[in-house]
Structure 1
């Protein structure tokens, strides 16, 4: 039986779909987002305001954002940070949030 993957040390990706309703309020979130992301070891990957839906049930229109952390622990510390949660009020107040999803990446491969 194969060993369980080492999710503890695997990178995680955060997928976000939101619809900006009040750009000035959301900009307050964006200004603080990047320094907080970096503080906890996260990296911004990309965003798209006009993603192309190819198959299946379409997520709502809006902004798709992808960022990553080296491990789930990094993500959990960032998410639980009181300063980040206070900052997130701007996101919550300026946007309709469709989803925020945590996806585990592939765990590190054992070296021979």
Structure 2
């Protein structure tokens, strides 16, 4: 069943985050996910929102998400994401 990873972040160190972002697609492209959106200024339609950027990815199943998120290649670049941003990542199950 398709799963969606939703990241909501605030960038705390632009240089460090840009280093992560520069390598992201190279690493992400090796796995079964699809990048659906990466919006640095999403329109807030309702309620308070204290982040700057939203990222939406889809994966064919939860195993594929974990294969990417826990891969040595991603963990290597994720150091810069964690150092250069603050946020939350959600994993949502798609409808069958």
Q: What CA deviation, in whole Å up to 9, does each residue of 1:10-31 have, x standing for no partner?
A: 1111111111122211111112
Task: Indicate the residue corresponding to 2:66 in structure 1.
Answer: 76
State how far apart, in whole Å, the 2-side matches of 1:70 and 1:38 are: 14
Pairing partner for 1:67 from 54, 57, 60: 57
Corresponding position: 1:101 with 2:87? no
TM-score, with length taken from structure 1: 0.77
Pairing partner for 1:35 from 22, 26, 35: 26
1:49 to partner: Cα distance: 1.9
Root-mean-square deviation over aligned CA pairs: 1.4
Corresponding position: 1:50 with 2:41? yes
Q: Contact conserved, 1:50 with 1:61, CA < 8 A, in 2?
A: no
State how far apart, in whole Å, the 1-side matches of 2:59 and 2:65 are: 6
**Which consecutive residues of structure 2, in runs of 5 or more, have no partner in the other structure?**
none
1:33 to partner: Cα distance: 1.3
**Which consecutive residues of structure 1, in runs of 5 or more, have no partner in the other structure?**
1-9, 108-112
| Count of residue pairs the alignment pairs up | 96
